[in-house]
């Protein structure tokens, strides 16, 4: 049985997820507040084995270095956003609108995702492309749920006015890779409440 728990982190209220089985744990999008994430990991009693990134905007990667160094685990990211980790303009931390924030520079990820099924720490998931919010955005499909990053939200979709954003591409991504999943499948977004695929098919105003 695989479990998922969410922690809301930072000023952007970003959802970091801990996905774990009986022994091991995956950290998904550690946005900030690394100490609090580490405390939650300790509470689970599981061993972290990897950090997975749906995309590389600052609010999803702020605690990567702290947790990577703490647990000595590899980071996985889309090849299309590998260089964004170390570029404050691409990861948005260096924008004028974020001038109260230090430039965020994260060391390169150890692995670049292929669009395939992975098995890490006894947990199996499929990586699918869901660009449109950003060019390298991906989603992680587990047997019992899907983690969708900032592609799809409860009653909404991700912003498309940022660097490499594309509304038509995002709508296509969601319809092709998410709305073809089982209707009852829970979907865990990068911000806000969880939803289900069927609920969004039926009620999301961008598709109705």
Tens-digit pLDDT string for the chain (208 aa): 999 999 999 999 999 999 999 999 999 999 999 999 999 999 999 999 999 999 999 999 999 999 999 999 999 999 999 999 999 999 999 987 767 788 999 999 999 999 999 999 999 999 999 999 999 999 999 999 999 999 999 999 999 999 999 999 999 999 999 999 999 999 999 999 999 999 999 999 999 8
pLDDT of residue 98: 67
**125: enclosing H helix or E strand:** strand 123-129
Q: Is 58:91 a contact under the CB 8 Å cutoff?
A: yes
pLDDT of residue 95: 86
DSSP state of 105: -
pLDDT of residue 185: 98
Angle between helix 64-71 and 34-44 (nearest 10): 40
């Amino acid at each position: 049985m695989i479990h998922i728990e969410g922690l809301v982190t930072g000023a952007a209220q970003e959802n970091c997820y801990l996905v774990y089985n009986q022994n091991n744990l995956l950290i998904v999008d550690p946005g900030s507040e690394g100490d609090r994430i580490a405390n939650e990991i300790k509470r689970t009693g599981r061993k972290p084995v990897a950090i997975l990134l749906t995309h590389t905007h600052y609010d999803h990667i702020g605690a990567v270095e702290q947790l990577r160094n703490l647990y000595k685990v590899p980071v996985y990211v889309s090849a299309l956003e590998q260089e964004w980790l170390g570029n404050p303009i691409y990861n948005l931390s260096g924008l004028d609108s974020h001038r109260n924030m230090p430039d965020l520079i994260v060391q390169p990820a150890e692995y670049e995702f292929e669009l395939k099924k992975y098995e890490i720490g006894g947990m199996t998931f499929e990586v699918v492309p869901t660009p449109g919010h950003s060019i390298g955005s991906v989603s992680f499909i587990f047997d019992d749920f899907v983690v969708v990053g900032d592609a799809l939200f409860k009653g909404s979709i991700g912003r498309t006015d940022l660097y490499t954003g594309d509304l038509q591409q995002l709508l296509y991504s969601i319809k092709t890779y998410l709305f073809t999943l089982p209707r009852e499948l829970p979907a865990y977004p990068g911000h806000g409440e969880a939803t289900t695929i069927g609920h969004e098919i039926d009620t999301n105003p961008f598709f109705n």
